[in-house]
Amino acid sequence: MPEGTASHCPYCALQCAMSLTGGPAGRAGSVTIEGRMFPTNRGGLCKKGWTAAELLDAGDRIVHPLLKQPDGTFEETAWSDALDFIAARLRDSRERFGADSVAVFGGGGLTNEKAYQLGKFARLALGTTRIDYNGRFCMSSAAAAGNRAFGLDRGLPFPVEDLDQAETIVLFGSNVAETMPPFIAHLAGARQAGGLIVVDPRRSSTARLTDDGGGMHVQPAPGTDLALLLGLTHIVIAEGLANTDYVESRTTGFEALRVSTNAWWPERVQATTGVPVAQLRQFARRLANGAGTYILTGRGVEQHVDGTDTATAAINLALVLGLPGSEHSGYGTMTGQGNGQGGREHGQKCDQLPGYRKITDPDARAHVAKVWGVHPSLIPGPGVPAVELLAELGKPGKVRCLLVHGSNVVVSAPDVTAVKAGLQSLDLLIVCDFFFSETARFADVILPVTQWAEEEGTMTSLEGRVLRRRRALHPPLDVRNELWILRELALRLNAPSTYSTSPAEVFDELARASAGGIADYSGLSHDLLDTGIAAFWPFTPGSAGTPRLFRDRFAHADGRARLVAVKAHHGDGGPLAGNTLTLITGRLLEHYQSGAQTRRVPELQDARPNARLQIHPATADRLGIVADGPVTITNARGAVHAHAEITSSIRHDTVFLPFHYADEESANLLTESAVDPISAMPEFKRTIVSVQAGGSNQ
């Protein structure tokens, strides 16, 4: 194994740089990880990053193809037999029930190369419109809001380092101290200036960074973020704090926006959100008067049925203040999954082609078809987003076969009871994974795939920087990369076009397919990235890339940003009573996403072995709940069993569950499949539940 192989962390979108050393004879064994100096993490890693190598030789890793037997057990099988079986079943389903009887569900952790090839495979080899991915649960509302306001969606349209000089940074619904700990170093300047503002119903680890003069914690009721943002914009306009020169020269739609915020005077906002009028005014004035102001949003304000409008309201506030594209100020959104940015740019989304092109655009279809060497008519039209796709599983005339890559929908999707029923009713479920995930339990075929340190490729970080993932060791002998799997299946299905197994060649094709698109990678290659260049897209041939977007113009044809008036729809709901509370979900420092990886790392699992329900002391006392005692959380969709964590860090009308756990501890047994009408983002952050003392073992 090469000494000091430079790579990046397999977890979140901060993509912390690391070096891998050791490992006998190119195998995992004694692989060690060291933090590597890089602008985002500066040599630091979180617990998950430091322990990432432990998964490379985990004892329960899947290292051979597995085929489910009639009795429900799995037996090892040869690759040729597994692939022949899959191809025959897929071909039969297409012939009998049509191309859309076969669906693909991808993941935001796949490399750019695999995400691109998966989208191409779905549309050409399978001919299906039914492809979407788990990024729909993460970034879709922020992406939709960014596209309609700016004409472009890139999580942070500036390098993370720009935050170092800020005096005011607002985090709406983002707990970076636990989700990406090295990021908090970039908040130091704002904390020192007393300008870190954290908006969260919980007094999270990030909110506690505002203590001792570091800033302000704003604690609205769950689901009222849109009303809060409308109220802040109202104050900025009413008190003459808006940047009128910027608004007049760089935006459109201000008058409609002004009228739309008239109804949200401070006293009404206080009554709706619970945020005091004095704090609202202090908040708005700090935004307007801070030297170097950044507004950042996260899943807490986006994972709602009004998530796109809420993210839009945050953008409106930033635009009225004149932040996006300005020197030492800006707006951005915190991408979550490791390749959440790149994963949504190159073809996994149901309505997009590579380069962030719309699949309904005739010019986009013609361009991509030329790169693929096919007629545009062979590229099917748009499909349906993730929640709707999962609802089609096993339904008459709908999806009968499903291929899952890099996702664990049995834990991560809303209303998982319905998802499980859908998976059980399929004719064929193929899961590509390296562990026996909760979703893999339902599979007919499980295909073992390479892990991050065993493959070449690229990832795109939260700041739009394209990064190289380098192979540091060889995978187990019978494990394969998804590029090889897709090529082998494409050959068996007599698919048009070609499917290279070389990540560098696939990236070159991706670059050509993205040329001229919003997310243009056409000037990049593996060789160029290996020089260490800072590669922020769009990156056209001969350019130096674009680390800072919007300095001169926005991506709409007229160069102006759009102020889009939005309305708060359910902000006036009455208080909950009895044992009925609002459940919010989120992440823990030790775990990641569905927990399929981190729950297998002893150090991480021992630190957080079980789901714990955060509940306010007064609420716990009223319901007879004791510290560490069992609790049951229920609604019409299901019941979750956990233990109580009594803390004053949460509102008395709210409870919190992490979403990393499975089976009877799965928070998504309770969440509903209602979605945002624009982004199709599920309502993860506001679920009405009943809570009572006692558990399944009592």
Q: What is the DSSP string of 491-529?
A: HHTT-SS---S-HHHHHHHHHHHHTTSSS--TT--HHHH
How many angstroms separate the Cα of 686 from the Cα of each of 95, 303, 655?
Answer: 43, 9, 10
Q: Which of the listed residues 286, 312, 333 is the one where a domain comes to its end?
A: 333
Looking at the structure, do residues 314 and 404 belong to the same domain, yes or no? no
Q: Which ranges constitute the DSSP H helices of 545-681? A: 602-607, 617-623
Q: What is the pLDDT of residue 697?
A: 46
Q: What is the pLDDT of residue 695?
A: 79
Looking at the structure, do residues 399 and 310 belong to the same domain, yes or no? no
Q: What is the pLDDT of residue 676?
A: 94
Say if 234 falls within a structural domain: yes
CATH number at residue 26: 2.20.25.90
Q: Alpha-carbon distance 119 to 557, whole Å? A: 28
Q: What is the pLDDT of residue 103?
A: 98
Q: Average model confidence (pLDDT) for the chain? A: 95
DSSP reduced 3-state for 17:
strand
CATH number at residue 78: 3.40.50.740
Residues facing 198 on adjacent strands: 171, 217
What is the helix (H) or strand (E) element at residue 266, kind and residue range?
A: helix 266-273
Asked if residue 546 lies in contact with residue 536, where contact means CB atoms within 8 angstroms, the answer is yes
Residue holding tokens 């030329």? 370
Q: Which of the listed residues 456, 477, 501 is the one where a domain comes to its end?
A: 501
Q: Alpha-carbon distance 457 to 412, whole Å? A: 25
Q: What is the DSSP string of 563-628?
A: P-----SSTTPPPP-TTEEEEEEE--SS--TTSTTGGGSHHHHHHS-S-EEEE-HHHHHHHT--TT
Q: Alpha-carbon distance 317 to 333, whole Å? A: 14
DSSP reduced 3-state for 618:
helix
Q: What are phi and psi of 389, to 5 degrees?
A: -60, -45
Q: Which ranges constitute the DSSP H helices of 98-139? A: 112-120
Q: What is the pLDDT of residue 571?
A: 46
pLDDT at 503 over 90: yes
What is the helix (H) or strand (E) element at residue 185, kind and residue range?
A: none
- Name which of 427, 482, 107 is nearest 490 in CA terms: 482
Q: What is the pLDDT of residue 572?
A: 44
Q: What is the pLDDT of residue 384?
A: 98
Q: What are phi and psi of 268, to 5 degrees?
A: -70, -40
Looking at the structure, do residues 329 and 278 belong to the same domain, yes or no? yes
Say if 600 falls within a structural domain: yes
Say if 536 falls within a structural domain: no
pLDDT at 200 over 90: yes
Q: Which residues, 6 or more positions from 532, have their beta carbon under 8 angstroms from its beta carbon?
A: none
Q: What is the pTM of this model?
A: 0.96
Q: What is the pLDDT of residue 4?
A: 85
Looking at the structure, do residues 465 and 351 belong to the same domain, yes or no? yes
Residues facing 465 on adjacent strands: 536
Q: Alpha-carbon distance 659 to 684, whole Å? A: 10
Tokens of residue 630, six digits:
């069992």
DSSP reduced 3-state for 639:
strand
Q: What is the pLDDT of residue 698?
A: 42
Looking at the structure, do residues 484 and 628 belong to the same domain, yes or no? no
Q: Alpha-carbon distance 364 to 343, whole Å? A: 18
Q: What is the pLDDT of residue 578?
A: 76
Q: Alpha-carbon distance 25 to 27, whole Å? A: 6
- Name which of 423, 385, 420 is nearest 403 in CA terms: 423
Q: What is the pLDDT of residues 74-121, one digit of tens each?
A: 999 999 999 999 999 999 999 999 999 999 999 999 999 999 999 999
Q: What is the pLDDT of residue 348?
A: 94
**Residue 410 pLDDT grade (very low, low, confident, very high; cuts 50, 70, 90):** very high
Measured over the CA atoms of residue 306, residue 388, residue 131 and residue 436, the dihedral's sign is: positive
pLDDT at 596 over 80: yes
Residues facing 104 on adjacent strands: 131, 403
- CB-based burial of residue 639 (10 Å sphere; 0-12 exposed, 13-18 middle, 19+ buried)? middle
Q: Alpha-carbon distance 304 to 141, whole Å? A: 9
Looking at the structure, do residues 129 and 252 belong to the same domain, yes or no? no
Looking at the structure, do residues 366 and 447 belong to the same domain, yes or no? yes
Question: Beta strand pairing status for 293-297 and 330-333?
Answer: parallel
pLDDT at 222 over 60: yes
Say if 210 falls within a structural domain: yes
pLDDT at 27 over 60: no
**Residue 3 pLDDT grade (very low, low, confident, very high; cuts 50, 70, 90):** low
Q: Which of the listed residues 302, 333, 364 is the one where a domain comes to its end?
A: 333
Q: What is the pLDDT of residue 293?
A: 97
Q: Say if residue 503 is preceded by a cis peptide, omega within 30 of 0.
A: no
Looking at the structure, do residues 246 and 376 belong to the same domain, yes or no? no
Asked if residue 87 lies in contact with residue 95, where contact means CB atoms within 8 angstroms, the answer is no
pLDDT at 576 over 80: no
Q: What is the pLDDT of residues 29-81, one digit of tens each?
A: 568 899 999 999 999 999 999 999 999 989 899 999 999 999 999 999 999 99
Say if 428 falls within a structural domain: yes
Looking at the structure, do residues 72 and 127 belong to the same domain, yes or no? yes
pLDDT at 573 over 60: no
SS3 content of the chain, % helix, strand, coil (to 5): 35, 20, 45
**DSSP conformational letter for 161:** G
Looking at the structure, do residues 96 and 144 belong to the same domain, yes or no? no
Say if 153 falls within a structural domain: yes
Q: What are phi and psi of 353, to 5 degrees?
A: -110, 170
Q: What is the pLDDT of residue 1?
A: 41
Strand extents, DSSP E, 344-427 = 352-353, 357-358, 401-405
Q: Alpha-carbon distance 105 to 442, whole Å? A: 15
Q: Alpha-carbon distance 262 to 491, whole Å? A: 61
Tokens of residue 376, six digits:
């545009």
Q: Alpha-carbon distance 683 to 673, whole Å? A: 7
Q: Alpha-carbon distance 181 to 116, whole Å? A: 30
Q: Alpha-carbon distance 384 to 399, whole Å? A: 12
Say if 598 falls within a structural domain: yes
**DSSP conformational letter for 536:** B
Instruction: Quickly count helices (H) and strands (E) in the chain.
Output: 23, 27
Domain that holds residue 49: 5-55
Looking at the structure, do residues 344 and 398 belong to the same domain, yes or no? yes
Tokens of residue 597, six digits:
């990886």
pLDDT at 351 over 80: yes
Q: What is the pLDDT of residues 113-162, one digit of tens each?
A: 999 999 999 999 999 999 999 999 988 999 999 999 999 999 999 999 99
Q: What is the pLDDT of residues 287-331, one digit of tens each?
A: 998 789 999 999 999 999 999 999 999 999 999 999 999 999 999
Classify residue 98 as left (phi > 0), alpha (psi -120 to 50) or beta: left
Q: Which ranges constitute the DSSP H helices of 55-172? A: 79-97, 112-120, 140-150
Q: Which ranges constitute the DSSP H helices of 384-502? A: 386-391, 409-412, 416-424, 482-492
Residue holding tokens 């919003």? 518
Asked if residue 392 lies in contact with residue 97, where contact means CB atoms within 8 angstroms, the answer is no
Q: What is the pLDDT of residue 575?
A: 58
Residues facing 105 on adjacent strands: 132, 404
Q: What is the pLDDT of residue 83?
A: 98
Number of folded domains that form the chain:
4
Looking at the structure, do residues 118 and 11 belong to the same domain, yes or no? no
Q: Alpha-carbon distance 527 to 525, whole Å? A: 5
Asked if residue 642 lies in contact with residue 610, where contact means CB atoms within 8 angstroms, the answer is yes
CATH number at residue 630: 2.40.40.20
Residues facing 32 on adjacent strands: 21
Q: Alpha-carbon distance 221 to 212, whole Å? A: 24
CATH number at residue 271: 3.40.228.10
How many angstroms separate the Cα of 464 from the Cα of each of 248, 459, 511, 546, 618?
Answer: 29, 9, 15, 9, 44
Say if 558 falls within a structural domain: no
**Residue 26 pLDDT grade (very low, low, confident, very high; cuts 50, 70, 90):** low
Tokens of residue 104, six digits:
């693909």
Q: What is the pLDDT of residues 515-533, one digit of tens each?
A: 999 999 999 999 999 999 9
